[in-house]
């Protein structure tokens, strides 16, 4: 086996550190574009500070944001994957997160949900969160790691809508999303991206909303023309509310809206809305059967 536990641990540790020190290239590019067209002076100053912060983090080898957010590891594989290579993956990530915490890259932020006791090293039940996905024919094993900020989580919403509430031209759906953005204001660290999950059941809608905003490139174009149109319309309308960077006014609060959709039952229309702060800490590794490794979401 090429990827021994020891070698894999090293790769995973480096991936974690890389995510703590960098924002994804797409987020960085969209922030710069936002600054270029901003007219509000407060928003300009906030955006410039964000871009400076992102630059400085790498230079001084310190985490870009004090909060590491909530980590999810998305693993995907095909029928020919050597599952031996991922059998220890949960322990490898948990150990690497603890080590990166001791090394000062992650603040110890994970606590017992009821007692609120903090073990001090980001260890705990279900840390990090894992999602495994079987993709027929995929020759490689992919790891995508996302640290999703939790101030942004405070603005999230979900609703089991009905056919009547959906409305003509989906006005009910659009209003729900735009009103959620207005209620969120500056809480989710704008400029943010919004993931919207439509369909399934409660958990499915929320999960695909999170996946959309955590995994997808914020600059991509939805292959479904109807969803692409909806994404563009929602993004434009949310920005017209002038919430602005940091939520203190300005031209842009929303960098992108990303919609994922699955079928649902005829009685319901579940909608999940998941915000992602501007600090898009997302990284990935691809492992080929011949031992080759590729870094996903390359910085440059």
The site for other proteins, by CB under 8 A, has a size of 57
Least CB distance to other proteins at residue 99 (A): 14
CB count within 10 Å of CB 134 equals: 11
Segment interacting with other proteins, rule: CB under 8 A, options 126-134, 138-146, 173-181, 285-293? 173-181
Contact indicator for 261, 199 with CB cutoff of 8 Å: yes
Q: Is 247 in the site for other proteins (CB under 8 A)?
A: yes
Sorted by sequence, the CB contacts under 8 Å of residue 30 that are 6+ apart come out as 191, 218, 219, 255, 256
List the Cα angle 171/197/195 in 5-degree steps: 95
Nearer to other proteins, 145 or 173 (CB): 173
**Does 241 engage in binding with other proteins (CB under 8 A)?**
yes
Residue 276 binds to other proteins (criterion: CB under 8 A) = no
CA dihedral 179, 182, 184, 187 (to 10 degrees): 170
Cβ proximity to other proteins: between 45 and 201 the closer is 45
Contacting other proteins within 50-89 (CB under 8 A): 50, 52-53, 56-57, 60, 62-67
Residue 240 found at the interface with other proteins (CB under 8 A): yes
Min dist. Cβ of residue 213 to other proteins (A): 16
Is 221 or 240 the residue whose CB approaches other proteins more closely?
240
For residue 73, count other CB atoms closer than 10 A to its CB: 22
**DSSP assignment of 47-97:** HHHHHHHHHHHHHHT--SSS---EEEEEEEE-TT--GGGGTTHHHHHHHHH
Q: What are phi and psi of 245, to 5 degrees?
A: -60, 135
Spatial neighbors of 56 by CB under 8 A, at least 6 apart, are: none
Q: Judged by CB under 8 A, does residue 289 bind other proteins?
A: no
Residue 261 interacts with other proteins (CB under 8 A)?
Answer: no
Question: Are 251 and 43 contacting, i.e. CB atoms less than 8 angstroms apart?
Answer: yes
Minimum CB–partner distance for residue 247 and other proteins (Å): 6
* Binding stretches for other proteins (CB under 8 A): 41-42, 45-46, 49-50, 52-53, 56-57, 60, 62-67, 104, 106-109, 111, 116-118, 120, 149, 151, 154, 169, 171, 174-175, 178-179, 182-183, 185-190, 237, 240-244, 246-249, 277-279
């Amino acid at each position: 086996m090429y990827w021994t536990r020891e070698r894999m641990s090293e790769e995973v540790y480096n991936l974690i550190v890389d995510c703590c020190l960098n924002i994804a290239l797409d987020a960085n590019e969209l922030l710069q574009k936002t600054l270029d067209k901003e007219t509000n002076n407060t928003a300009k100053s906030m955006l410039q500070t964000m871009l400076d912060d992102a630059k400085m983090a790498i230079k001084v080898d310190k985490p870009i944001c004090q909060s590491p957010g909530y980590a999810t590891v998305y693993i995907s594989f095909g029928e020919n994957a050597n599952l031996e290579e991922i059998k220890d993956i949960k322990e490898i990530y948990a150990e690497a997160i603890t080590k990166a915490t001791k090394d000062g890259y992650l603040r110890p932020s994970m606590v017992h949900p009821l007692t609120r006791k903090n073990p001090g090293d980001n260890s705990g039940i279900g840390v990090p969160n894992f999602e495994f996905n079987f993709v027929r024919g995929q020759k490689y094993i992919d790891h995508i790691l996302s640290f999703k900020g939790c101030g942004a989580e405070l603005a999230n919403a979900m609703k089991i809508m009905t056919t009547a509430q959906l409305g003509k031209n989906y006005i009910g759906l659009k209003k729900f999303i735009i009103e959620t953005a207005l209620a969120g204001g500056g809480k989710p660290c704008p400029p943010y991206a919004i993931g919207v999950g439509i369909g399934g059941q409660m958990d499915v809608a929320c999960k695909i909303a999170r996946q959309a905003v955590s995994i997808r490139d914020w600059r991509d174009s939805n292959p479904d023309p109807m969803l692409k149109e909806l994404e563009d319309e929602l993004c434009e309308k949310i920005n017209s509310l002038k919430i602005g960077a940091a939520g203190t006014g300005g031209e842009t609060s929303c960098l992108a809206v990303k919609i994922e959709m699955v079928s649902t039952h005829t009685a319901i229309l579940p909608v999940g809305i998941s915000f992602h702060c501007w600090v898009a800490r997302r990284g990935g590794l691809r492992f080929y059967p011949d031992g080759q490794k590729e870094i996903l979401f390359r910085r440059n």
